[in-house]
Structure 1
């Protein structure tokens, strides 16, 4: 058989696998060029957007394997739905997936899933790594930090009964009374948060074209191993700081056998007295509580080399702040005590031990209040929230961090954070909003989320803004939200202060967003505005965004049924937008109010361009939501132009649950 004919067969096999949502990719060519992606897309489609990172992404479904490609699937509680690009490769013992390096690399990150233990709590299983058939190394994979179940705030027990038997259970469309037995549910109930990731230094630098093979040993304890993707990176040498307060001189243990928290405190105190930086040399340091930081610079040798790792410790009695556990974290002083200033953290990893969500727990990687401070080049995983800030505080710069595998948010500006910037951060696999600004009780103001990448939040939104003033969300890349949220949310909810001043949302790209809301049983938008606690009527402009491959709507404006006649969303301006693929509409309006549209181009629209329900009173004068056409709104789908004259200004076109048309993959405009 000729090589060209074999290549044709290989391409056909992959195509059939994609259409059927599974199948063997064993025919893929050993000599195939690596397929580099960003958020499982051709990088040209997201040029200039998202975090500028030092690693290169390759999806397992594009690699050579004798395993099975699973997906695509956007249905919650399935392995493909939480995978990057909604596809992955499933291996059984003895099978492998092999990647070719697109550029020189000496380090890899593997995103994977293995089964939970029967009674919960996770298992471990091996994974072998070879390069060019030699230089064998091994990883010990674990599901200890994945697999949650049931209702909020979730449990690790797959056999648990309903945590809230009196809550609405969407799966059975019933409202069980609190005094009656809970309805029968299949167990495990609502499994999710399937994935975890691990990093590995390869010990030497390999060249572009070298083959990295991941093999599940034949004697693996895991019935299956799912590989989602491989990130490859060329990591530089460890950073050395000779003139500094070296934590080793104060008794820190770089082998992680003894708790080094007190040694860190001594080094910080010495550094402050002598106007020095604190240096964390290569090593793994055990720290099981908060390190309080104020007016200090702490530098590691780099996040691949310096690891600060803690155990979760039960507290009895609970702490005054309500925490029932302690864990590793670097915290500014509480705002009530004046907060901290001039804190600079860089070049190390923080690894927690958080396996359950307890909202009162302060078991975050970074926390407290830090003004005039910077956080740069950290790698955070397995904490509750990577970074949670309680103001008032001002002028914080958070740049170049990687935050993965969190039980809740990656980052939250909570209460009174002002004039601060979050940029070039990479976020993957959060259990709640990826990046959030939450103006609870005290408004945030003057903050910017810029050039960040957020992938695969398994619950809630990629980026969420809850109230506040003069906010900018720009140049971000958000991909693959799974349930009860979408890529970008502007929400008047959770007791947030009102939106005031200007809200600018510009030049962002979303992909495979516009999820299905399991409680409402309707499709959301890739971007959605939600007026629940009060009206949204600030100066809001959405400009230059690209909404790609939205499962339902591209844009949604909505209120809750109980307050639909109380609150509105008014005068939102959409300009210079591109919409490539919607399962349903470009715009879905389920609220009273108004919006204008200028140069909004759309194609591959699955349903009527504007699904206008207003606030569901259906007056004879038309919908309570009106649209203004400012010109240049082109394109559409099978039903015609997306913004047609007959839809303006407020024609009722309400279809509560329109049929969904799966859009084609995004392509250059």
Structure 2
């Protein structure tokens, strides 16, 4: 891949933790201000699996990086074992379905499909082939990209109120969401078009159709290349594409199997690509490889519309001259890196009404490398589950607009929207002119940055490599269920560059985990008509970093309410919900908290012991007792009871682990709270033990010190739960 943003964000090294907020259905998002519609107008209706009847097990919510629940839309999903199903009631007429799912690493199988109880002859293939992506060169990244999408033409029409069920046939499947739509039949060939089959393309997908596509493009200059219904296999990319329309019969009907479609550094333009699918075979992220639908340039006055792009590294990685390009009405799914990146030289580009799900980096990005992106916009797009970076990221550029987008469920190293002067490489062109961020809705966005155990806000303004001199206008924003803050102002490079010239005018903030404004660098912003309800800790965290780098001035422009309080102690980071009594005093204090250990065996990492999933587990390094598992509860707590679990499956034979409980308020000095004792885990009684702590125990850091295990040569816990009573 061309050089790309590496998410090694350097923040103040203060601690924070995650909170599992109640997550609603994606289709039940809080409305944006009434001035305009938010997100894309989509031809399908999404239904969350956890919201409908199932014989499986609901998982989540969870905000812990690298878990199935945290990467799911709504942070919830349903796990099905063989024979279990989830049943959707179709909200409107449909003849096609797309299912977002996950299967265990290294496994594949099928989902049986039923309509009103009748099993269809068609099945949905499911596989882990395109999931479980590792990017070890990106600091803080864990194995991610756990979900995939599989689509099916049902072969019949179903009506509103009909029931469509999917059933795990032969492999465990976690079902996240199903998209139902009524798709039209194949479109007819345009008059005068040059068909790729007339040039020898094989619609069965068995033969190599690359040369046929090249000949059809050469023959159709100024006209249309027609891709009839069928599947076509390309073994290398196309180049020299200009002054031509490449059109299919609809993306459910005309499918190109290729990991690289167009790869060219420049074009004279007037390229129009529409109405077919390009589905690749990209199973990992290799930044030096152009495994993209479009890599480089389509040239001026071009367009991309009505496409289904899947299993690629990037949908569109655009360099060179792409002036006045329009990218609209597309679906971009399951890319291992960005969905679309305008990589310099973008002038007058419009990216609108697209749906993006399960990106392995920024879903939509503008990066002003070599030349500034200018007068370009991302408008009315819907983005769900970018699992490593931001929903929308603007890295430099002049007079850029981000308007009426819906972003939900960012994970790990990103915000819903990032407006940034992070350059990554030179020559970079910082933000300039007016940056308009208007009418956007952000739901469950922002995440814990694992590099520094530091949170990122739902909407981030970042003077990473240089002060922000542009006029940043943030208006008419809705932020709902952010696990941390709503608006973050930071200099992510740790040098304290000013984030200034910012106006936030008109925002509704609902249920933010910590603060409304997270100010961590020098600069200034004016807030008007910003209302907040359900603030977790305080209205404002104003602690510029590094110390002495300057102040951040918040100007009250009037009409603000619900967030006047200020976090008073800059030596500590507020924990989610810390500012008010716990709404659920019986909750598990350890769930989703940072966990560390003296060692781990293979993929059985410490976080698996606090992820809320009893079927996953931590296992220490083997043959190396004693071993410690430590959980940071975020603040000192009067813990009275621990519940320790192993997976309930009968395959886990009874065993006894010898352990003591230790505690610390500062993470440095530990004392023994419960002396060493043998604890028997028996699947006949749920593989669960309870450890009572003495009255008066007060600890933030909970440590289990394990010295023996009769059933395995290492310490093992699937869940460590901590309670106040």
What TM-score range do you get, normalising by the shorter chain?
Answer: 0.7 to 0.9
Q: Deviation per CA, 1:304-326, whole angstroms, max 9, x where unpaired?
A: 0000002xxxxxxxxxxxxxxxx
User: Closer, same or farther in 2 for the Cα pair 1:503/1:610, shift >3 Å?
Assistant: same
Which consecutive residues of structure 2, in runs of 5 or more, have no partner in the other structure?
1-18, 584-725
Deviation at 1:581, TM superposition (A): 1.2
Q: Which residue of 1 aligns with 2:679?
A: none
**Partner of residue 41, structure 2:** 52
Confirm whether residue 389 of structure 1 aligns to residue 318 of structure 2.
yes
CA contact (8 A) 2:463 2:499 kept: yes
Q: Contact (CA 8 Å) 2:21, 2:62: kept in 1 or not?
A: no
Cα distance in 2 between the residues matched to 1:150 and 1:279: 38
Q: Does residue 449 of structure 1 match 2:378? A: yes
Match of 1:470 in 2: 399
Tell whether the 8 Å contact from 1:391 to 1:416 is kept in structure 2 after alignment. Answer: yes
For 1:658, the equivalent position in structure 2 comes to 574
Identify the match of residue 289 of structure 2 among 357, 361, 364. Answer: 361
Partner of 1:324: none
Contact between 2:316 and 2:340, CA under 8 Å: does it hold in 1? yes
| Aligned partner of 2:554 among 608, 627, 632 | 627
- In the TM superposition, residue 40 of structure 1 has moved relative to its aligned partner by 5.6
Structure 1 residue corresponding to 2:126, chosen from 141, 144, 148: 141
Q: What CA distance in whole angstroms lies between the structure 2 residues aligned with 1:264 and 1:56? A: 34
Aligned pairs for 1:118-137 within 5 A: 123-136=107-120, 137=122
For 1:43-82, list aligned pairs within 5 A. 48-82=37-71
- 2:308 aligned residue (352, 357, 379): 379
The structure 1 residue matched to 2:498, chosen from 568, 576, 592, is: 568
Corresponding residue SS for 1:587:
strand
Larger RCO of the pair (alpha carbons < 8 Å, separation 6+): 2
The answer to whether structure 1 residue 233 and structure 2 residue 219 are counterparts is: no
In 1, distance between residues paired with 2:214 and 2:278? Answer: 17
CA distance in structure 1 between the partners assigned to 2:325 and 2:304 by the alignment: 8
Matched, 1:518 2:507: no
Deviation for aligned residue 1:42: 6.4
Paired position in structure 2 for 1:334: 265
Separation of aligned partners in 1, 2:146 and 2:38: 27
Please report how far the alpha carbon of residue 615 of structure 1 lies from its aligned counterpart in structure 2 after TM superposition: 3.0
Match of 1:108 among 75, 79, 97: 97
Partner of 2:544: 614
CA distance, structure 2, for counterparts of residue 395 and residue 508 of structure 1: 23
Q: Which residue of 2 aligns with 1:260?
A: 209
Q: Shift of residue 65 of structure 1?
A: 0.4
Distance in 1 (CA, whole Å) between partners of 2:413 and 2:201 is 44
Distance 2:356 2:448 in 1: 22
Structure 1: distance between partners of 2:270 and 2:503: 39
Cα pair 1:612 1:653 within 8 Å, conserved = no
- Summarize the Cα distance change of 1:661–1:652 in structure 2 as closer, same or farther, 3 Å threshold: closer
Which structure shows the bigger proportion of residues in helix conformation? 1
The 3-state SS of whatever aligns with 1:81 is helix
**CA offset at residue 226 of structure 1?**
0.3
* Distance change in 2, residues 1:138/1:561 (3 Å): closer
Query: Shift of residue 291 of structure 1?
Result: 1.7
Deviation track 1:170-197 (CA, whole Å, cap 9, x = no partner) reads 7xxxxxxxxxxxxxxxxxx933211001
- Aligned residue among 492, 495, 501 for 2:433: 501
Give the Cα–Cα distance (whole angstroms) in 1 for the partners of residues 229 and 132 of structure 2.
Answer: 32
2:459 pairs with 489, 507, 527, which one? 527
Task: Pick the aligned partner of 1:296 from 222, 228, 244.
Answer: 244
Deviation at 1:588, TM superposition (A): 0.7
Match of 1:156 in 2: none
**1:202 aligned to 128, 151, 154, which one?**
154
Match of 1:643 in 2: 564
Corresponding residue to 2:225 among 278, 285, 306: 278
What is the 5 A alignment of 1:413-492? 413-492=342-421
Name 1:346's counterpart in structure 2: 274
Conserved 8 A contact 1:611-1:655: no
1:544 aligns with 2:532: no
TM-score by length of 1: 0.80
Q: SS at the partner of 1:61?
A: helix
The answer to whether the 8 A contact 2:20-2:62 is kept is no
1:26-50 CA deviation, whole Å, 9 max, x = no partner?
xxxxxxxxx9x54563678998110
How far 1:655 sits from its partner (Å)? 5.2
Deviations 1:557-616 (A, max 9, x none): 11146422xx21112000011111111000011111111011111111111211000234
> Aligned partners of 2:54, 2:32: CA distance in 1, in Å?
26
Aligned residue number for residue 616 of structure 2: none
Tell me, in whole angstroms, the C-alpha distance in 2 between the residues paired with 1:600 and 1:42.
Answer: 16
**Alignment partners' CA distance in 2, 1:553 and 1:55:** 32
Which runs of 5 or more residues in structure 1 are unaligned?
1-17, 23-34, 118-122, 154-166, 171-188, 311-326, 636-641, 665-669
Paired with 1:606 and 1:484, the residues of 2 have a C-alpha distance of 21
Residue-pair matches, total: 554
Deviations 1:300-352 (CA, angstroms, capped at 9, x unpaired)? 00000000002xxxxxxxxxxxxxxxx43134x413xxx23100000000011
Cα distance change on mapping 1:52 and 1:570 into 2, 3 Å: same
Q: Report SS of the residue matched to 1:66.
A: coil
